Amino acid sequence: MANSVRRGQAHLDKSETCLGCGETSFTKDYARAERICTSCGLVVSERSADRGPEWRAFTAEERNARARTGAPMRLSMADKGLSTTIDWRNKDASGRALKSNTRAAIYRMRKWHIRTRVHGSQHRNLGIAMSEMERLSSQLGIPREARETAALIYRKALAKRLVRGRSIEAVVAASIYLACRIHRIPRRLDEVVAEAKIDRKQMGQAVRLVIYQVNVNIPLASANDLIPRLSSDLGLEGRTVRKAAEIVKNARKQRITIGKDPGGIAGAALYIAGILEEDRRTQREIAKVSRVTEVTIRNRYKELVRSLGISFPRS
């Protein structure tokens, strides 16, 4: 996996660039305070959305009457939460039985209503996939925003018929994993694999396939993103964390981070920061939380010290 880094994609750090596809144009949805990329549909939400009623309300009824929003529309629901159904009881709205000619008309409507509701198999697939996605992402603690992106990726994969002949599980897991990458939430492939009911190999294949076929640009996993998480696992102090972030930043400037396991870089940066700030952790401790070996920490450590010209105060 680390090797794929060598392909050398450009980084998309500018905030006005879509994390999903690198496009720069967004549609603004003011009502929901979101910007939606015109090319790939990635939803970037902004703060301060007020979906409440716009007049004051003093009683519960008033509040209900004045609220202007219903349940939010979500991509992570199979029918985007907008389905209508005509139920099978032949009663009208007030509960009276229908006359026979109306009944026949309703019957025909029902038939077409159901038939035209998305193409059967895909809809069924989505239903299964979305509940699986919900399960997996809550297990992994994925935030809502990333779940929506994952759902979008899955829909695209499904539309491209990538799911045929593959397990739904694998494609769902891949979508979630990629959504995490897009939103810069550090989740490793292994962590997702562990929760999903699939093996690494299937997962890897699915991930590669989706990257290839679906039009999403995936920002590379970077050591920066791992620092906060690893630091809290290690219980490091704020100044140490800041120091480590600075080291990673400099390392990236020197371009010595490309092609290396971000875990190793982050780990080594934390190790060095620990020594400099006298908030030290052993290589073993760091290696454990960053999921690389001590040897890798050592190698990165040496490289960082050498190319950044870090010297340690003798104590």
Partner DNA sequence: AAGACGAAAGTGGTTGA
Partner DNA sequence: TCAACAACTTTCGTCTT
Residue ranges binding DNA (CB under 7 A): 1-4, 6-7, 200-201, 204, 208, 259-261, 264, 280, 282-284, 291-296, 298-302
What phi and psi, each to the nearest 5 degrees, are found at residue 295? -60, -45
CB of 274 to DNA, least distance (A): 9
User: Toward DNA, which CB reaches closer, 130 or 189?
Assistant: 189
CB of 303 to DNA, least distance (A): 9
Summary count for the chain: helices (H), strands (E): 12, 3
User: Toward DNA, which CB reaches closer, 81 or 259?
Assistant: 259
CB of 18 to DNA, least distance (A): 24
Taking alpha carbons only, the member of 167, 157, 163 closest to residue 210 is: 157
Q: Give Cβ neighbours of residue 144 (< 8 Å, ≥ 6 apart).
A: none
User: Toward DNA, which CB reaches closer, 117 or 302?
Assistant: 302
Q: Using CA atoms, how far apart are residues 12 and 217, in angstroms rounded to an integer?
A: 9
The distance of Cα 177 from the centroid of its chain, to the nearest Å, equals: 7
User: Toward DNA, which CB reaches closer, 147 or 260?
Assistant: 260
Q: What is the DSSP letter of 198?
A: S
Q: Give Cβ neighbours of residue 298 (< 8 Å, ≥ 6 apart).
A: 268, 283
User: Toward DNA, which CB reaches closer, 6 or 108?
Assistant: 6
The DSSP annotation for 8-26 comes to: -PPP---TTS-TTT----E
The H or E element that residue 28 is part of is strand 26-29
CA angle 260, 263, 269 (to 5 degrees): 90
What are the residues facing 28 on neighbouring strands?
A: 35
CB of 310 to DNA, least distance (A): 12
The DSSP annotation for 108-148 comes to: HHHHHHHHHSS-HHHHHHHHHHHHHHHHHHHHHT--HHHHH
User: Toward DNA, which CB reaches closer, 208 or 239?
Assistant: 208
CB of 312 to DNA, least distance (A): 10
CB of 198 to DNA, least distance (A): 13
Cβ atoms of 148 and 76 closer than 8 Å: yes
Angle, helix 168-182 to helix 120-140, in steps of 10 degrees: 50
User: Toward DNA, which CB reaches closer, 9 or 25?
Assistant: 9
Q: Give Cβ neighbours of residue 304 (< 8 Å, ≥ 6 apart).
A: 247, 251, 256, 265, 268, 269, 272, 310
CB of 289 to DNA, least distance (A): 12
User: Toward DNA, which CB reaches closer, 6 or 89?
Assistant: 6
CB of 220 to DNA, least distance (A): 12
